[in-house]
Structure 1
Amino acid sequence: MEYTTLGSTGMEVSRLCLGCMNFGSAQPWMIDDEERSVEIIDRAIDLGINFLDTANVYSRGESEEIVGRAIEGRDRSELVLATKVYGPMGEGPNQQGLSRKHVIDQCEASLDRLGTDYIDLYQIHRWDDDTPIEETLSALSYLVDEGLVRYIGASTMMGWQFMKALGASDLNDHERFVSMQPEYSLVDRHEEENLLPVCRDQGVGVIPWSPLGGGFLTGKYDPDDEPEEGRAATDEHTHERFTEENWAVLDAVRELADEKDASPAQVSLAWLLEKEVVDSPIIGPRSLEHLEENAGAVSVSLTDEEIERLEEPKTPVWSRATGDL
């Protein structure tokens, strides 16, 4: 496994991050088997992946609990644990959003579920229109000052919102977001026209989610297929990727994978790893086989000409719709 520093920090993370959203039972496409989930976590760590990403809303805390039990007894200093706050965690008032109350309450709850004294990277899952960003940043800074959080990060918003947050941190001497989680893959390149230029300019680390386009870039689908299982069977966003333009991207991926004796997933991840602004794509394997395959991407290198071949079929376009906000 290879490592890099996260954004402008000195914290080293593996070039692949283990996404833990599959570890739970809230959706039919989740693993719903703690023993299998722990096996994947254990194997990922054995492969050198030290970066694990989850969120409080993943199966209403079940993912965090599974991660916590899986890492129990391991050297905590060798792991980088990331989780998120924003989504609903109950039916009553103050059970969602980025108010000072909810942020601090949920950090404490996440610490309990993860079985740890601190969170390495605490991220806001979405932008909250109902809470001033200064209040959120004040709460996050408090958590850092108390030693409960090491760094703060963000996920999925418009570029102007993220720049507003970074500016507010600079003006008010609050903790600054060190990372951003955008949707980014060969078939989802809209963030090249939104968040990525901000991250590049501000020295913010990029941790792409859905780096395989919801499974589309694994090559397991064909234009005439109807997904019958897995996340694609129930995820409308995956179906939206079934476009002529995206099939052309997949054709290029498949051709290059054959030339390199690699899999389409490995080539797709390797493309992300070649991007200077990208630190650690978030992989979400549902089996040990998928994990091993994804991990092999760090050994796949691409030339400038090969990168151009992969990118040629698609032109990045940003809109509120493609941004999935």
Structure 2
Amino acid sequence: MRYVRLGRTALEVSEVCLGTLNLGVRAGEEESHALLDVALGHGVNFVDTANQYGWQKYKGYTEELLGSWFARGGGRREKVVLGTKVANPMSDWPNDSGLSARHIIASCEDSLRRLRTDWIDLFQMHHVDRHAPWEEVWQAMEHLTGQGKVRYVGSSNFAGWHIAEAQESAVRRNFLGIVSEQSVYNLVTRHVELEVIPACVRYGVAVLPWSPLHGGLLGGALRKLSEGTAMKSSQGRAAEALRTHRGAVEGYEGLCADLGADPAEVGLAWVMSRPGVTAPVIGPRSVEQLEGALRATRIRLTDDVLAALDVLFPPVGKGGPGPEAWAW
């Protein structure tokens, strides 16, 4: 496993991040614990979750599952760089969501209890809160980092100008600010190339793409549908995108077949090759899917293949960052 710095920090993380959205939901507790053990055995030290994950059973369930895994000992917690999130509603009560100082601090305490740990390595704002002034947000984050309960702060689903605004506010307080940004990024959804990734590169913020296979669309969806083995790729964002991008997906799966490579591995290798990307967040449901994702770390796509992928899935506008992408 290769390790990379998390943005401008000195923290080292594996070049893939294990997302836990499926753990405890599409995979049972013992199966999830086994998958986590295999990932750690392969050197994957970066694990991402959120306080809301597991909502299909109840909010907070996935954090509890991770807490029970850490409780098995063996240095599991000490080896893992752990990220979780705050902002999404945890109940219908008005102060149980968003980025108020009250909710940030209370949410951190709740996550620590569920995760059975004394600290969170990466506490991420799941969404921007347009009602919370950055002075309030950073006051709360400074409080938590000062207590040693949070090591670093990250963001998720931010616009480029949110990142810039947040960072400039943090600089005025002599605070480290945001060190990572999780954004949806894959061959089908490339909007972050316009402004989010350029902002992250400028401020030394790690880019952590989520849904690198667009919900399974780029994991051989057409082949799986024809074989009757499609699960995730026949639902949600993948099924919706397939109606629009069927021709491109056909071409993509044909290209992967010509390369003798699995579509899921090619799609993940493409994301990992992109400028500014630190570690994609993968969401395997099984050890087999995990090992496929790890094989993708060894794939290096040639310039010809990258060009062919750009033809099938063109970048937004004229390509590259704004304003060049639309202005000239």
Q: TM-score, normalised by structure 1?
A: 0.89
**Secondary structure class of the residue paired with 1:180:** strand
The 3-state SS of whatever aligns with 1:278 is: coil
User: Which moves more between the two structures, 223-232 or 81-90?
Assistant: 223-232
Contact kept, 8 Å, 2:222 with 2:250, in 1: the verdict is no
Corresponding residue of 2:11: 11
Range with greater deviation from structure 2 (72-81 or 83-92): 72-81
Q: Which residue is equivalent to 1:117?
A: 118
Deviation at 1:183, TM superposition (A): 0.3
Distance 2:227 2:46 in 1: 34
CA displacement, residues 237-280 of structure 1 (integer Å, 9 cap, x when unaligned):
32331155x33443454344334432111111111111231111
Q: Deviations over 1:45-93 (max 9, x none)?
A: 1111100000000021111111121133132332100000001112223
Matched with 1:93 is 94
Letter in 1 for 2:155: A
**Offset at 1:312?**
1.8
Give the match for residue 264 of structure 1: 263
Partner residue, 1:242: 242
Q: Percent identity?
A: 40
- Give the distance between the partners of 1:39 and 1:214, measured in 2 at CA: 23
Show the counterpart of 1:52.
47
Deviation, structure 1 residue 169: 0.7
Q: CA RMSD in A?
A: 2.2
Q: Which residue of 2 aligns with 1:322?
A: none
Mapping of 1:1-325 within 5 angstroms?
Answer: 1-25=1-25, 30-31=26-27, 33-59=28-54, 60-72=59-71, 73-75=73-75, 76-221=77-222, 230-235=231-236, 237-244=237-244, 246-317=245-316
Q: Distance in 1 between matches of 2:260 and 2:288?
A: 17
Cα distance in 1 for residues equivalent to 2:152 and 2:182: 14
TM-aligned CA deviation for residue 226 of structure 1: 12
Deviations 1:112-152 (A, max 9, x none): 11111111111000011121122112111211111111111
Q: Which has the higher contact order (CA 8 A, sep 6+)?
A: 1
Distance 1:220 1:314, change over 3 A: closer
Tell me, in whole angstroms, the C-alpha distance in 1 between the residues paired with 2:41 and 2:309: 31
Q: Secondary structure of 2:222's match?
A: coil
Q: How far apart, in 1, do the equivalents of 2:118 and 2:186 lie?
A: 34
Unmatched segments (≥5 aa) in structure 2: 318-328
CA contact (8 A) 1:137 1:175 kept: no
Instruction: Read off the aligned partner of 1:288 and give its amino acid letter.
Output: V
Question: What is the DSSP-based 3-state SS (H/G/I as helix, E as strand, rest coil) of the residue aligned with 2:221?
Answer: coil
Deviates more, 1:171-180 or 1:284-293: 171-180
TM-score by length of 2: 0.89
Runs of 4+ in structure 1 off by over 6 angstroms are 223-229
Q: Distance in 2 between matches of 1:285 and 1:153?
A: 23
Answer with 50-59 or 39-48: which moved more.
Answer: 39-48
SS state of the match for residue 130, structure 1?
coil
Deviations 1:153-191 (CA, angstroms, capped at 9, x unpaired):
000022112211111111222331000000001111111
SS at match of 1:105: helix
Residue 252 of structure 2 contacts residue 312 of structure 2 at CA under 8 Å; is this kept in 1?
Answer: no
Q: Post-superposition shift, 1:225?
A: 6.9
What residue number does 2:320 align with?
Answer: none
> Does the C-alpha gap of structure 1 residues 227 and 151 become closer, same or farther in structure 2, counting only changes over 3 Å?
farther
- Larger CA deviation: 51-60 vs 91-100: 91-100
Query: Deviations 1:195-230 (Å, cap 9, x if unpaired)?
Result: 111111111101100001100000123698799963
Partners of 1:296 and 1:87 in 2: CA distance: 33
Matches of 2:94 and 2:287, distance apart in 1: 40
